[in-house]
């Protein structure tokens, strides 16, 4: 069963096409980087994958479930970390996670157990009683990843999750999510930062709403550095 499959998806804002016939597959237990410069259509694609938007063209399958035909089942297999932080800053970390657990139908002892487990995995258990406002950016992101893992999703979507974080926090979160993929999660990680991508990762290069390349990062860049290859493919030049 495929982790995530997108086929023939297009999307337009009025007359402006944001995505054109986008197709790619992310196999199970794979870290796939959705690489693209700003304005490539990554966030639009994420909005479609999370059903915040919908489009009549193409097909999206999450853990084998058609998002259009069976949206609720498909969404129940999805963990999401949005680009903008979505923690309620006036609630504690635990309250934030409890609220999210309830939105996924988890309550009582079962929810508490899952919350403890997920926070522990992200080294956040000791901070569960703190208000989200008091956490730094890295810890807030960790709390959001713990939250995304609560319903035990098969597919994890992260939309530029390291934006605004310092180098250490970026490294910690990037490594942790790579480990999750090794443990069986299917990960789609949107980014424009090539240093977050490892050679064995799958890669989808999105540029101007089209998929320009798919494959492993190693096969994509060949002898070149990934960043140079990326700049070459997208026609951008460093300042």
Partner 1 sequence: MNPYVTSLQAIVYREGLRFIQQRERFAAALVRPLLWLLVFAAGFRAALGLSIIPPYQTYITYEVYIVPGLCGMVMLFNGMQSSLSLVYDREMGSMKLLLTSPLPRWWLLFCKLMGATAISVAQVYAFLAITAAFGIVVPPLGYFMVLPALIVAGLMLGALGLLLSGFVRQLENFAGIMNFVIFPMFFMSSALYPLWKMAESSEFLHAICAVNPFTHAVELIRFALYGQLNVAALGWTLLATVVFMAVAIYSYNPSRTGVARRG
Positions touching partner 1 (CB under 8 A) are 13, 18, 43-44, 46-47, 50-56, 72-73, 75-76, 78, 80, 82-88, 90-91, 95, 98-100, 102-108, 159
Distance of closest approach, residue 168 Cβ to partner 1, in angstroms: 25
Q: How far is CA 218 from CA 3, 101, 197, in A?
A: 21, 38, 10
End-to-end CA distance of the chain: 44
* Count of C-beta atoms within a 10 Å radius of residue 113: 11
**Residue nearer to partner 1 on the CB measure, 54 or 136:** 54
- How far is Cα 135 from Cα 152, in angstroms, rounded to an integer? 24
**Residue nearer to partner 1 on the CB measure, 133 or 182:** 133
Strands 186-191 and 155-159, sheet pairing: parallel
Distance of closest approach, residue 106 Cβ to partner 1, in angstroms: 7
**Residue nearer to partner 1 on the CB measure, 4 or 87:** 87
**Phi then psi dihedrals of residue 185, to 5 deg:** -80, 150
The closest of 180, 114, 175, 178 to 147, measured between CA atoms, is 114
**Residue nearer to partner 1 on the CB measure, 186 or 202:** 186
The answer to whether 41 and 205 are in contact (CB under 8 A) is no
Distance of closest approach, residue 130 Cβ to partner 1, in angstroms: 16
- How far is Cα 43 from Cα 180, in angstroms, rounded to an integer? 22
**Residue nearer to partner 1 on the CB measure, 14 or 222:** 14
Backbone torsion region of residue 134, taken as left when φ is above 0, otherwise alpha when ψ lies between -120 and 50, otherwise beta: alpha
The closest of 160, 211, 202, 219 to 6, measured between CA atoms, is 211
**Residue nearer to partner 1 on the CB measure, 55 or 214:** 55
- How far is Cα 214 from Cα 206, in angstroms, rounded to an integer? 9
Distance of closest approach, residue 174 Cβ to partner 1, in angstroms: 20
Distance of closest approach, residue 56 Cβ to partner 1, in angstroms: 8
Distance of closest approach, residue 237 Cβ to partner 1, in angstroms: 25
Distance of closest approach, residue 77 Cβ to partner 1, in angstroms: 9
**Residue nearer to partner 1 on the CB measure, 61 or 159:** 159
């Amino acid at each position: 069963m495929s982790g995530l499959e997108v086929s023939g998806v297009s999307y337009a804002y009025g007359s402006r096409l944001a995505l054109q016939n986008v197709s790619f597959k992310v196999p199970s237990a794979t870290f796939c980087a959705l690489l693209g410069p700003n304005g490539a259509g990554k966030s639009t694609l994420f909005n479609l994958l999370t059903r915040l938007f919908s489009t009549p063209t193409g097909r999206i399958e999450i853990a084998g479930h058609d998002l259009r035909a069976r949206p609720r089942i498909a969404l129940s297999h999805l963990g999401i970390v949005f680009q903008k932080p979505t923690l309620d800053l006036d609630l504690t970390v635990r309250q934030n996670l409890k609220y999210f657990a309830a939105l996924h139908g988890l309550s009582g002892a079962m929810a508490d157990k899952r919350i403890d487990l997920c926070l522990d995995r992200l080294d956040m258990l000791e901070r569960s009683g703190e208000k989200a406002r008091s956490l730094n950016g890295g810890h807030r992101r960790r709390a959001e990843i713990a939250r995304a893992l609560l319903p035990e999703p098969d597919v994890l979507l992260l939309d530029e999750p390291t934006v605004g974080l310092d180098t250490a926090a970026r490294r910690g979160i990037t490594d942790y999510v790579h480990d999750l993929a090794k443990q069986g999660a299917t990960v789609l990680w949107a980014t424009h930062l090539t240093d977050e991508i490892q050679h064995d990762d799958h890669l989808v290069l999105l540029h101007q709403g089209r998929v320009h390349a798919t494959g492993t990062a190693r096969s994509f860049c060949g002898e070149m550095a990934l960043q140079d290859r990326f700049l070459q493919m997208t026609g951008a030049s460093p300042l």
